Amino acid sequence: MEPTNNVSADLVVKDLRERFGTDAFRPQETKDSIPTYWVREPVRDILKYLKTDIKKPYRTLFDLSVVDERFRKHRQGLPDCDFSVTYHLLSYERNNDVRLKVALRGENPSLQTISDIWPAANWYEREAWDMFGIVFDGHPNLRRLLLPPTWKGHPLLKTHPARATDMEPFTLPDDRQEVEQNALRFEPEQWGMQRRSETSDFLFLNLGPQHPGTHGPFRIVLQMDGEEIIGLVPDIGFHHRGAEKMGERQSWHTYIPYTDRVDYLGGVMNNFAYVLTVEKLAGIDVPQRAQTTRIMLAELFRIASHLVWYGTFAQDLGAMSPVFYMFNDRERIFGIIEALCGGRMHPSFFRIGGLTQDLPKGWDRLIDDFIKYFPPHLREYDQLVMENAIFKARTKGIGAYSLEEAIEWGVTGPGLRACGMEWDFRKKRPYSGYEQLDFEIPVAKNGDCYDRAVVRVAEIRQSLRIIEQCLKNMPAGSYKADHPVATPPRRNKMLYDIETLINHFLSVSWGPVIPPGEAAVLIEATKGCNAYYLISDGNTTSYRTRIRTPSFAHLQMLPLIAKGMPIPDLMALLGSIDYVLADVDR
């Protein structure tokens, strides 16, 4: 399934070389099949060409990330530089990605913004400035995105300490407190908003960070004329926990539990994206049984996550009962997860090369019971929520965006499928054995709140189908790859020869050493496409962990859709996007 990437990309590069000169592109070997090229400035022109002029264009800016290259040791084939900016583009028409990298030198280097080419680059560039101090010339609003405006320094720099114990003790003297409090004062002009128009004074409503409708610490400042939203500015970062920085400190193995907490409703779905990437870097083949179990658990979590969305979406629209039914069923799923994995919301069950342990005896009965129990309830929920006239009146035609906009802004998952695009990474780029399973991609066509709901509800049913197939066709065999860097390391020969004992000891105490390289695996997570772009420098920790999350892209689009809405519609929209703040802020 994957090789299409290379052939198609080679053609692209041929095309590009003809246009921009032969030496403008320098390929880099990566462990995934995504073609990666170092390009010379101005990268803007190349990106613009790829987005608009080329046949079958790359219309989605999938990710924009930065690497602090200053301490990287394995640099074979890489240009000499202090920082590199990576543009990850995606073309749905080609089913193909391309990664373009720009080498930058010096402290606080600068390059041209691409936020005028891709409006979606706005937040990515702000994040890059926030975390690395990269200046994007011409950016309309290059301010901190995830960190508070008073923060000093750029935390993802290798020179920035990762632990509080490496820093000065935190104090908050009165003058500093004064400064911090003043920084919280709301000035509409700073957010690019007018206080009044010719006809009216606007009402500025601060929604969040603590508000029942925002589903987590998320702040939106609304500029309102009556109850109509004239403008709004989303303010994120309240849930930022430095997950990417922690990836550079934790060993490859001990980082797995941190991934669970990124999309905290997705559980092992986050492990999935991470371990697949690490396995790609290390070249591990995962046994069939482990692959199928992974799919089964991931789909259980997809259902659990969709159930939370289902219930809270209904609650956002004022229905108070559905959330209780759906949380009860989610509880049932957690009961199964607990029996299988030992954990509930964050089981951290996947390991590099397989799983923590084999499925326990009787697991099939639990799954079977659930598959029989759930569909009738799902039908009941359809009657209660989806077929309710008030629910329909509140969601149909509300918060619609077109397929063009969705692709442009990097929307993935149900939000994309609700616009009529039949795109699912499980089908289009199968991983872990999804190609052997029989399921459909639910789509809808209007791209409004109701259609996003329709798609998600249909996905719950498809996930049940997948789980049923996993149950019926669970392969026998090992639950973990027999590979030197698979974790936890093998024990079977450990006590018989000293060499394996030493290896085991090192692998447990320091963690496995993953060979140098770069990779990312794009998976269909609960909210959209999730990917870990990992760079190994041949060490026990990753050199750079970039987490591309779907919610980040989805939330950035909010002002585009929400303008002109009244507050109740905004709540419907927020509910239908189905974001998780930890997934946005990481």
Partner 1 sequence: MRMMIGQLSVIFGVLIAALTAAAFLIWLERRLLALWQDRYGPNRAGPFGLLQVPADMIKIFFKEDWIPPFADRQLFVAAPAIITITVLLSFAVVPFAPGIAVISPDLGLLFFLGMSSLAVYSVALAGISSNNKYSLIGALRALAQLLSYEVFMGLSLMGVVMLAGSFNLNKIVEAQRHLWFVIPQFPGFILFFIAGIAETHRLPFDLPEAESELSAGFHCEYSGMKFGMFFVGEYLSITLISAMTATFFFGGWQGPLLPPVIWFALKTFAFICLFILIRASLPRPRYDQLLAFAWKLLLPLALLNVLITAAIVLALER
Judged by beta carbon, residue 130 or residue 569, the one nearer partner 1 is 569
What are residue 87's DSSP bridge partners? Answer: 64, 100
CA distance 569 to 576: 10
Judged by beta carbon, residue 298 or residue 571, the one nearer partner 1 is 571
What are residue 542's DSSP bridge partners? Answer: 536
For partner 1, the binding residues in 311-350 under the rule CB under 8 A are: 314-321, 324-325, 328
**Which span (37-45, 286-294, 347-355, 568-576) binds partner 1, by CB under 8 A?**
568-576
Neighbours of 518 (CB within 10 A): 26
Alpha helices per DSSP H over 116-169:
121-132
Binding to partner 1 by CB under 8 A, coded x per residue (else -) over 220-259, reads: -------x--------------------------------
Q: What is the 3-state secondary structure (H, E, C) of 47-112?
A: HHHHHHHCCCCCCEEEEEEEEEHHHCCCCCCCCCCCEEEEEEEEECCCCEEEEEEEEECCCCCEEE
Using rule CB under 8 A, residue 382 touches partner 1 = no
Min dist. Cβ of residue 197 to partner 1 (A): 18
Min dist. Cβ of residue 391 to partner 1 (A): 5
224-254: string of b/e by CB count within 10 Å (b at 16+)? beeeebbbbbbbbbbbbebbbbbbbebbbbe
Min dist. Cβ of residue 221 to partner 1 (A): 12
Residues 6+ apart with CB under 8 A from 323: 311, 312, 314, 315
Structure tokens given for 246 = 């922690």
Residues 6+ apart with CB under 8 A from 509: none
**Which span (139-147, 486-494, 542-550, 563-571) binds partner 1, by CB under 8 A?**
563-571
In the list 273, 352, 555, 571, the residue contacting partner 1 (rule: CB under 8 A) is 571
Using rule CB under 8 A, residue 558 touches partner 1 = no
CA distance 58 to 308: 34
Min dist. Cβ of residue 243 to partner 1 (A): 29
Min dist. Cβ of residue 328 to partner 1 (A): 6
Min dist. Cβ of residue 152 to partner 1 (A): 33
Using rule CB under 8 A, residue 567 touches partner 1 = yes
CA distance 370 to 304: 12
Using rule CB under 8 A, residue 201 touches partner 1 = no
Judged by beta carbon, residue 208 or residue 511, the one nearer partner 1 is 208
8 Å CB contact between 59 and 18 = no
Judged by beta carbon, residue 164 or residue 320, the one nearer partner 1 is 320
In the list 95, 288, 356, 388, the residue contacting partner 1 (rule: CB under 8 A) is 388
CA distance 363 to 108: 54
Residues that bind partner 1 (CB under 8 A): 203, 205, 211-213, 227, 314-321, 324-325, 328, 384-385, 388, 390-391, 393-394, 566-569, 571
